[in-house]
């Protein structure tokens, strides 16, 4: 996994952790015979380097909690996580120079 220097916006949301990961989770929903796909962006912070499996597990856990608690999913006949994409990895200790 290639790490990039943290931008100011990434630093703002990283809670002073060394590493920040941007993961996109794709959710399939079915409601009233209508299929839809929804992407949820998840930012994961850590002071340790995380493997792809750890990132996937953490992102799925976060989105599963959203599915269970968000009203937009309550009336769906089916909700399923169908994809996880690692969109970015950032290291606070890297410099742009």
Residues in the chain: 97
pTM for this predicted structure: 0.86
Q: How confident is the model at residue 92 (pLDDT cuts 50, 70, 90)?
A: very high
CA angle 26/30/36 to nearest 5° reads 45
Q: Give the separation between CA 16 and CA 21, rounded to whole angstroms.
A: 13
**Residue pLDDT, tens place only, 30-73:** 999 999 999 999 999 999 999 999 999 999 999 999 999 988 89
Sign of CA dihedral 78, 66, 64, 68: negative
């Amino acid at each position: 996994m290639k790490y990039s220097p943290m931008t100011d916006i990434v630093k703002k949301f990283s809670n002073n952790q060394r590493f920040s990961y941007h993961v996109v989770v794709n959710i399939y929903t079915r409601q009233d015979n209508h299929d839809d796909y929804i992407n949820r962006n998840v930012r994961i912070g850590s002071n340790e380097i995380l493997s792809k499996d750890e990132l996937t597990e953490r992102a799925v856990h976060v989105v599963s909690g959203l599915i269970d608690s968000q009203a937009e999913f309550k009336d769906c006949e089916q909700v399923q996580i169908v994809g996880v994409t690692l969109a970015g990895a950032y290291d606070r200790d890297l410099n742009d120079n």
